Amino acid sequence: MPKEISVSPRGVKHPVHLRLRTSDVSLYSDLLLHEAYNVALPFTPRTIIDAGANVGMATLFYANKYPFARIVAVEPEPSNYAMLLKNVAAYPNVVPVNAALWNSDGDLHLGPISAAPAEEAEKWAFTVTETGIPVRGLTMQTLLRETGIESIDLLKMDIESGEIEAFANCADWMRGVKGIVIELHDHVRPGCKAVLDAACQGFRVTTDGGEMTYYIRQ
């Protein structure tokens, strides 16, 4: 079992829990210290969905930047979810959900993406597979209904090519989405960007020159 440490970065209200020698450390550096999701928005989000929350680094960034927002953090992998619970326990505005967004409600399996670095695959890059860790799958409509959210101001998504399924039959819930910050995975599974572009008609699309793509409703 990886050794755990707690750190207290500037600007974050409560200690952050990390597992050494896992992807937790690089996510902490990228998302909390270097604020990879710090995009300028033309609105202040009051509802945020963090899909693919992992151990909660993006969730913590948003919880501290937007303390009055209600944040739903969705993570399917059990050990990552356990760390997510530790990291968000002191934030009453965060609702953790142990599930994978999908195109239907039901039972799924989760396994590592083969392209992930060997030392990080155990804790980071998971995707839906035919066999593996049993997890709950749910649609965005079900997630919103169960958490009592009527519309999404900001959707952050990093679900390792599952965006193709997550955006299936999205017309109803997409009407209320103001902005999306997403890591697309066409390098893993072609077609991810095409699905988002089709779903986000009327949005302004930009990138950060790297992995992030931003869809902001005009």
What global pTM score does this model have?
A: 0.92
Alpha-helix residue ranges (DSSP H) falling in 21-77: 23-27, 57-65
CATH class in words for 4-217: alpha beta
- Contact between residue 73 and residue 94 where contact means Cβ atoms under 8 Å apart: yes
Alpha-carbon gap, residue 218 to 72, rounded angstroms: 24
Identify the CA nearest to 199 among candidates 163, 161, 160, 171.
171
How many Cβ atoms from other residues are within 10 Å of residue 191's Cβ?
13
Instruction: Give the pLDDT confidence of 139-182 residue by residue, as tens digits.
Output: 999 999 999 999 999 999 999 889 999 998 899 999 999 999 99
pLDDT at 111: 85
Region of 78 on the Ramachandran plot (φ > 0 left; ψ -120 to 50 alpha; else beta): alpha
- Contact between residue 163 and residue 108 where contact means Cβ atoms under 8 Å apart: no
Of the chain, the end-to-end C-alpha distance in Å amounts to 47
Instruction: Give the pLDDT confidence of 171-216 residue by residue, as tens digits.
Output: 999 999 999 999 998 988 899 999 999 999 999 999 987 789 999 9
- Domain ranges across the chain: 4-217
- Contact between residue 173 and residue 148 where contact means Cβ atoms under 8 Å apart: no
Alpha-carbon gap, residue 128 to 88, rounded angstroms: 25
Alpha-carbon gap, residue 89 to 100, rounded angstroms: 21
